[in-house]
Structures are given as structure tokens and as C-alpha cells.
Amino acid sequence: MSLNTGVGHMELRKFLVALLLNGVLLLAGKAQAGQPPASAIVNIAELDIDPAQVEVFRAAVIEEMDDSVRPEPGVHAIYAVAYESDPAKFMFFEIYASRQAQDAHRNTPHFRKFLDVTNGMVRGRRIIGTNAVHLIAKP
């Protein structure tokens, strides 16, 4: 698959990851200027969703994200975007204070509810390993 610009799927993926890493943190308001905490965990995931269930999935994502970022001090940011060229492909960008904060998040009732509600909607999942290099955001 390629876009009209001639950019292939792999190049698009690399571009989206770079865009997320370099631009979206300006909205986070949680990262310290200059240096990420040594324990920061940054996750990037791509999910392929059953096209017939995209709207239900989208609603579940919004509810789960709102229930996570506000009350959980260890969840610094979660971003979800859908590919313009394929609304059934989602990319997630998450920043946790530590591995313990990530584990605590995954054991919350609202995250468990999200897994139950979206069970069977996810057709594919790719996790992109990262190491935080420089996280900066406006206060």
C-alpha cells in the first residue's frame, strides 16, 4: 500500500512514530523539560480493528483513556490516533512514570473493563519497543 506521495507503508509507519515522538509530547504537560525520568516507560502500539466495530472500539478507547490519565498519577500521557488512510488502524503512544505504574494501570478495573469490552475487536497488534531519549513538554 502506498500513498499518493509515493510513501510506502513502512515509511509511513516510521514517519508516524517520529511524529509522535517529536511532536505530540508538546501537549502532554507532564514530562519534565530536558530529561525523562530514568524510569519512564514509553510504549507505541499499532492495532488493527474489525472495521465493523471501529466506532464501538473508538468509544471504549476514549472512556478507558479518560479513566486512566486523570486519576492515575503514574500515567503521564496516552494518545490514540487512527490512520487517515485506514480508520480501522489505530496507533497508541503511552508514557508511564515507571514499569510499576504501567503494571498498576494494567491491573485497574477500568483497563480490565476495556479488555472485556474490546475482546474480539482486535485483529492484529504490533508493539514497537522504544527507549525514551528526550521528552519535553510545555508545563
Decide if 92 contacts 45 (C-beta within 8 A).
yes
Write down all domains in the chain, each with its CATH number in brackets: 36-128 (3.30.70.100)
Residue 107 and residue 88: Cα distance in Å, rounded? Answer: 26
Alpha-carbon torsion, ordered 65, 68, 71, 74, to 10 deg = -130
Residue 131 pLDDT grade (very low, low, confident, very high; cuts 50, 70, 90): confident
The pLDDT of 106-116, averaged and rounded, is: 95
Residue 105 and residue 96: Cα distance in Å, rounded? Answer: 9
CA end-to-end span of the chain, whole Å?
A: 39
User: Is pTM, for the whole model, over 0.85?
Assistant: no
Closest to 72 measured CA to CA, from 44, 99, 101? 101
Give, for 12, the enclosing helix (H) or strand (E): helix 9-23
Q: What is the pLDDT of residue 111?
A: 95
Per-residue pLDDT tens over the stretch 54-96:
999 999 999 999 999 989 999 999 999 999 999 999 999 999 9
Residue 64 and residue 71: Cα distance in Å, rounded? Answer: 11
Residue 104 and residue 101: Cα distance in Å, rounded? Answer: 5
Residue 15 and residue 8: Cα distance in Å, rounded? Answer: 10
Residue 5 pLDDT grade (very low, low, confident, very high; cuts 50, 70, 90): very low
All three cell numbers of 127, joined, read 508493539
Residue 77 and residue 109: Cα distance in Å, rounded? Answer: 19
pLDDT at residue 34 is higher than 50: no
